[in-house]
Amino acid sequence: MHKHHRALGLAAASFRNALDVAQALSPVQPVTLTRPHAAARAARFFSEKFPGRSMYAVKANPSPELIQILWDNGITHFDVASIAEVRLVARTLPDATLCFMHPVKAEEAIAEAYFTHGVRVFSLDSLEELEKVQRATRHASDLTLCVRLRVSSEHSKLSLASKFGVAPHEAKALLFAARQAADALGICFHVGSQAMSPDAYAQAMERVRQAIVEAAVTVDVIDVGGGFPSVYPGMEPPALERYFEVIGRAFESLPISYSAELWAEPGRALCAEYSSLLVRVEKRRGNELYINDGAYGALFDAAHIGWRFPVKLLREPESTVRDHPFSFYGPTCDDLDHMAGPFELPADVGAGDFIEIGMLGAYGAAMRTAFNGFTSEQTVVLTDEPMASLYMDSDRSAVADMASNVVKL
Ligand SMILES: *Cc1c(COP(=O)(O)O)cnc(C)c1O
């Protein structure tokens, strides 16, 4: 079967699972494994169940294939943060709506986004940025301006609380000024990435309420940002429906016009399940495995913020030896290229073994470099399920709901 794949060219190859890839290709470089069906399922989930509009935060994974999959499954709006992301999405999806949600932009980027790519939505967190947007768009009268509030990141694994966002005592003046300049006025925030509790959004919405009441302005858009979690070892969040309920309820009770819109900017939750990584163990030293990808590859978060990803030893027959905690070294000549884990693998794992590292679709592939000559140039499509999922249960309960509706009828 793999001869057939080679004859077709690898771009067209699709495999059942990571073990098949390891056996067929014995790849010397790490291979990115994608699961288009998992990204499609996540996109449908958000477009059907979030009680507002979901736009994809492109920085989480800017792969054109992924962006196309999300579009095909109901995601029509994209949160872009740089002019390169604006151009990428405009080129990939000419009909998509782009929202430029980085609160500190180059004036040239704003002008190109507005005049060349039709971008009308911009976020900002200072009067200087408001003036910049007005100058760059020649005081356009069709802008949606979203004021970014600073909110707590206490429920999140990755803080976004210090760099951006207007402080409470300055929000009133900025909202008032933005209202004068905007066709539509929005308020946005980001609770931090991988928010482990819906309370994060409830608390942020309370901040939004205070800001609206103090500024006494009419608000047309509430944008709850990203932060929706995925599932990793030791991090099992509540069901996403719980987040949607909390956000929907808070939105309904805000003092805003009844035609106001609710937006979200999920990054991680839409793409974490989209890809994983096939790596090879080059050496074992005690409980340390030297693998061929690392901190400068797709494992930045594993190295720098101690993120744990699920791992699986790919052997047939499966190892029957008990699991044991390992740490990883990446391939570069650099002590920083170390992933503490712990990663649980059968105790007999060793040089020459292949491992699948899962849930790397968000902030994995996106951060890869070719430092020291180590990188991954090959991508292969898989048809099996991701190593963990927040969406498979919802498929099952949808089936169950349908069944109970049938009974009721
Ligand atoms: C990074 C980012 C997102 C996506 O965050 P996730 O935690 O991946 O959902 C959304 N909006 C803005 C403004 C961001 O900077």
Going residue by residue through the chain (409 aa), what tens digit of pLDDT does each one get? 344 444 444 455 799 999 999 999 999 999 999 999 999 999 999 999 999 999 999 999 999 999 999 999 999 999 999 999 999 999 999 999 999 999 999 999 999 999 999 999 999 999 999 999 999 999 999 999 999 999 988 888 888 878 899 998 999 999 999 999 999 999 999 999 999 999 999 999 999 999 999 999 999 999 999 999 999 999 999 999 999 999 999 999 999 988 999 999 999 999 999 999 999 999 999 999 999 999 999 999 999 999 999 999 999 999 999 999 999 999 999 999 999 999 999 999 999 999 999 999 999 989 999 999 999 989 999 999 999 999 986 554 444 344 433 333 3
Write the residue with the smallest CA distance to atom 10 of ligand 1.
226
C-alpha 112 – ligand 1 centre gap (Å): 23
Atom of ligand 1 nearest to the CA of 188: 13
Ligand 1: distance of its center to the CA of 79 in Å?
Answer: 8
Ligand 1 centroid distance, CA of 151 (Å)? 14
pLDDT value at residue 161: 79
Look at ligand 1, atom 3, and give the residue with the nearest C-alpha: 226
Is the minimum distance from the CB of 228 to ligand 1 under 6 angstroms? yes
pLDDT of residue 170: 94
Cβ of residue 190 lying under 6 Å from some atom of ligand 1: yes
Fold observed for domain 51-265: TIM Barrel (3.20.20)
The residue whose CA is least distant from atom 15 of ligand 1 is 102
Q: Give the separation between CA 196 and CA 322, rounded to whole angstroms.
A: 30
> Ligand 1: distance of its center to the CA of 267 in Å?
5
Pocket lining: 165 vs ligand 1, CB cutoff 6 Å: no
Q: Is the dihedral of CA 300, 278, 267, 396 positive or negative?
A: negative
Single out the residue of 362, 278, 286, 340 nearest to residue 314, CA to CA: 278
| Among the listed residues 382, 380, 384, the one whose alpha carbon sits nearest the alpha carbon of residue 392 | 384
Counting from 1 in the atom list of ligand 1, the atom nearest the Cα of 156 is 7
Name the residue of 55, 79, 148 whose CB sits within 8 Å of the most ligand 1 atoms, as the mutation to test its pocket. 79
**Model pTM score:** 0.92
Pocket flag, ligand 1, residue 225 (CB < 6 Å): yes
Domain boundaries, given as residue ranges, for the chain = 8-35+272-382, 51-265
- Determine the atom of ligand 1 nearest the C-alpha atom of 59: 1
How close is the Cα of 193 to the center of ligand 1, in Å?
Answer: 7
- Whose Cα sits closest to atom 13 in ligand 1? 101
Residue 158 is predicted with a pLDDT of 86
CATH number of 8-35+272-382: 2.40.37.10
150 close to ligand 1 (CB < 6 Angstrom): no
Please tell me the distance between residue 224's alpha carbon and the centre of ligand 1 in angstroms: 10
**CA–CA separation, 109 vs 23, rounded Å?**
47
Question: Residue 146 catalytic?
Answer: no
Instruction: Round to whole Å and give the CA distance between 223 and 257.
Output: 15
Rounded distance between C-alpha atoms, residue 23 and residue 356, angstroms: 13
Dist. CA 392–CA 409, nearest whole Å:
26
| Binding site membership of 227 for ligand 1 (Cβ less than 6 Å) | yes
